[in-house]
Structure 1
Amino acid sequence: MTKRNVDLVGVQMDLGASKRGVNMGPAAIRYAGVCEGIEKLGYSLRDKGDLLCLPSGAGTERLRNCEQVVDINRRLYTTTLESLQNNALPLILGGDHSIAAGSISAVSKHYGKIGIIWIDAHGDWNNEESTESGNMHGMPFSAVCGWGPDQMVNFGQNPVYVDPHHCVQIGGRDIDTEERIRMKDAGVTVFPINEIDKQGMCSVIEQAIQIAGTDTVGFHLSFDIDAITPEAAPGTGTVVHSGLTVREAFLAVETISESGKMLSMDMVEVNPILDIRNKTGILASELILSALGKVVF
C-alpha cells in the first residue's frame, strides 16, 4: 500500500461490553511497540493520545450505557474526520467494539462510498430490538449501515451509511439468531468459521477484498481480537472456542495490505486484565503492523 501519514488514537472505552478492563487495551498495544513499529515501516506517525469516556451517564436495559457510548463515538467521529481531512490514515485502538461506530461514520462521511471488512467472532449486527444482552459493542456494524441504533452514528451530521452489499463479516462463530436473520436481510456477505475451514483464508480474504473494494473508494478494516482462537489470544472478554489461527489472521491482514485498498483500521477488544504477559497486546500490535505493510520477506 502507498505510504502516508498515520494518525493513531486510543479509545479507553469498556462500557459497551459486559466485562470491564478493555479500556486498557490501547496502553497494552502501545506497550507492545506498535508506535515504534509503524515508524520503522517508514510512516510519519502522529499519536493523538487517548479519548476517555464519561464517568457516568444514562442508558436502558436494551442500550446499556448508551450516553457514554454515543458521547465517545461523537468525539471519535470528529477526531477521525480531522485525520482524514489531513490525508492521514486513521488507526484506532480500542476499547470495546462499540467505538467502530464513530470511526467508520467519519470514514464513510469523508469518502462517500466505502466497504467494510469486519473480522470478528461475533456479528455485531444487533439493535435495541434484537439484542439479547443490551451491550452496545454488539451493535456498531449494523449502526454504520443504517440498521440501527441510529444514535450511535447520527450526531446531526447527516450520516452517510455504508451499503451492506459492500460489507463482509469474517470468522463469525457466535451470531445471535435474530442477528443472523437481520444480516441476511441486509445483504451482508458472511464467511463464518466453517466456511473458512472449507475454502481456506486465502480464498475468503480475496473474495472479501473484491466485495468491499469494488465500486468503492476502498474499505475500513475492523479487527476484533476475539476472532482469533482464545489459546492464541486469551486477553479478550468474549472468548469463543475454535477461532482463526494466528496464521489465518496474519494471512488476512497481509493480503489486505497487498491490496492497497485499506482506508482506515480499528483494532479492538484487547483486555490486559485477562491476558497473559501481554500476549494478546503483542499479537494485536503485530497484526496492525502487517496490515500496514510489514512483510516476512
Structure 2
Amino acid sequence: MSKSQKTAPERVSLIGAPTDVGAGRRGSSMGPEALRVAGLHKMLRGLGMEVVDRGDLIGPLNPEEKPVNGYRNLKEVAAWNGLVRDAMYEALKDGDFPILMGGDHCLAVGSIAGVAKHCHEAGKSLSVLWLDAHADFNTPDTSPSGNIHGMPIACLAGHGPKELTGLGHAVPILDPTNVIQVGIRSVDAAEKELVAENGLTVYDMRQIDEHGMRRVMDMALAKAAEAGGHMHVSFDVDFLDPSIAPGVPTTVPGGPNYREAQLCMEMIYDSGLTCSLDIMELNPAFDRGNMTAELAVELVSSLFGEQTLARTHSNRKYSL
C-alpha cells in the first residue's frame, strides 16, 4: 500500500488513558499498551508524520464499587475525564493532532470536552463522528448497569451528574445535533427515546445493510461538513463485527465487516475533516494474539491515508 497524495497532519500526539473505571468488565486499561505493541506509532511515522508519545495518564485505580445513585465509580470516572480533557486540550493547543488511546468509552466525555474547549477558543464549530455498536446515551434512569461507559453522549449533551457535565467550557459541552453515529445496533429501550428527543443523527446497521457503507458515509460526512470546523472521530472498537474484532468487553454481532470498516476509514480520510481521534474499548483480556489491536492500527492507517493506490478524491471532497 502507498500513502495518499492528501496532506497528513505534521505531528500526532499519542495519549494513553489506561483505565476501565467506567466499564463493567476489567481489561480495557491494557488497551493503550496493546496499541503500542501493535505498532501504532511506527505506522504513523511510516506515513510521514512526526509522532510524540506523551505516555500514559496516571489516575485512580478501579475500585469496582456498586452503583451509587445510578452511577458506578463516579468519583474515579470524573478524575480520569479531567485528566483526559486537559491532555487533549494541551495537545491541540500545541498544534498537534491528538489520538486518545483508551481505556473505556466513558473517557470520551473528557476527550470531547478538551476538544470543545479548544474549538470554542479558536472560534470553530465541532462535530463528532461516533463509530460504535452502542448509542451511549443512557442515564441512571435508563441504564441497567450504572456503567458510565454507556453514558458519555448523554453527559456531553448535558444529561448527567455535574461532575461530568461540568467538565467543559459550557453546559452542554456538545450540541447533540452535531453528533453523527454509525454502526449502531444495541440501544436500550428507554435510551431510544432520549436519542430521538435530543436530535442525534444515527445510521444503524439496518441502514448500512440497505444502502451500503458508501452511501451511509456520504450522508454522515456531509452532515459533519455542514457543522464545519473540527470533526472529532470517536472509534469504539466494538463498532466492528466480533468475528474480526473479539478484543472488546461488549461484543454485539452484526457489525461492519473488514471491507466495510476499511471503506468507512478511507472515506473519513478522503473527507479531510478529521482533527482528533479516540480509540476506545480495546480489551486485550478478550483478544486473540493482539489481533484486534493490530486490526485497529490497520484501520487507523486508512483513516490517515494509507491506501492501495494514489487517488485524487475529486468526488469525495466535502465543503466546509
| TM-score for the superposition, normalised by structure 1 | 0.95
**Structure 1 partner of 2:134:** 122
The answer to whether structure 1 residue 66 and structure 2 residue 74 are counterparts is yes
* Structure possessing the higher radius of gyration over alpha carbons: 2
- 2-side partners of 1:215 and 1:11: how far apart? 28
> CA shift at 1:286, angstroms?
1.1
206-215 or 238-247: which moved more?
206-215
Q: Any stretches of 5+ residues in structure 1 without a counterpart? A: none
Offset at 1:145?
2.3
Q: Is the 8 A contact 1:108 1:160 kept in 2?
A: no
Q: Retained in 1: the 8 A contact 2:22–2:106?
A: yes
Tell whether 2:103 aligns with 1:95: yes
User: Residue 44 of structure 1 aligns with which residue?
Assistant: 50
Secondary structure of 2:115's counterpart equals helix
Match of 1:205 in 2: 217
Residue 26 (structure 1) aligned with residue 42 (structure 2): no
Mapped partners of 2:222, 2:159: distance in 1: 23
* 1:197-230 deviation line (CA, Å, top 9, x unaligned): 0010001111111112213212110111111111
Contact map agreement 2:116 2:168 (CA 8 A) in 1: no
Which of 197, 216, 228 is matched with 2:240 structurally? 228
Question: What percent identity do the matched residue pairs reach?
Answer: 36
TM-aligned CA distance change 1:262 to 1:150, over 3 Å: farther
1:113-160 deviation digits (Å, cap 9, x = unpaired): 201110111110112222111000001112222233442242374456
* Structure 1 ranges of 4+ moved more than 3 A: 56-59, 155-160
How far is the alpha carbon of 1:81 from its aligned partner? 0.5
2:3 maps to what in 1? none
In the TM superposition, what is the alpha-carbon distance from 1:15 to its structure 2 partner? 1.5
Counterpart for residue 84 of structure 2: 76
From 250, 257, 260, the equivalent of 1:238 is 250
**Which residue does the alignment assign to 1:256?**
268
Q: Structure 1 pair 43/163, CA: closer, same or farther in 2 (3 Å)?
A: same
Instruction: Kindly indicate whether the alpha-carbon contact (under 8 Å) linking 1:102 and 1:153 is maintained by their aligned counterparts in 2.
Output: no
Q: Is the 8 A contact 1:29 1:285 kept in 2?
A: yes
After TM superposition, give the deviation of residue 263 of structure 1 in Å: 1.4
Partner of 1:179: 191
* Contact kept in structure 2, 1:229 and 1:241, CA below 8 Å: yes
For structure 2, the 5+ residue unaligned runs are 1-5, 310-320
User: Does the CA contact (< 8 Å) of 2:165 and 2:172 recur in 1?
Assistant: no
Structure 1 residue 166, shift from structure 2 partner: 1.6
Shift of 1:259: 0.7
Between the aligned partners of 2:216 and 2:136, the Cα distance in structure 1 is 20
SS in 1 for 2:173: coil
Secondary structure of 2:276 counterpart: strand
For 1:212 and 1:66, the matched residues in 2 are separated by: 31
Q: 1:160 to 1:125 in 2, by over 3 A?
A: closer
Q: How many residues matched?
A: 297
SS in 1 for 2:184: coil
Q: Equivalents in 2 of 1:156, 1:252: separation in Å?
A: 29
Maintained 8 Å contact 2:20/2:62: no
> Alpha carbon RMSD of aligned pairs, Å?
1.6
TM-score of the two chains, using structure 2 as the length reference: 0.89
Q: Is 1:295 the counterpart of 2:307 in the alignment?
A: yes
Alignment check: 8 A CA contact 1:26 1:93 kept: yes
Residue 8 of structure 2 corresponds to residue 6 of structure 1: no
Aligned partner letter, 1:286: E
Residues 117 and 168 in structure 2, CA contact (< 8 A), matched pair in contact too: no
**C-alpha contact (below 8 Å) 2:21/2:62 kept by paired residues:** no
Among 183, 198, 208, which residue is 1:196 paired with?
208
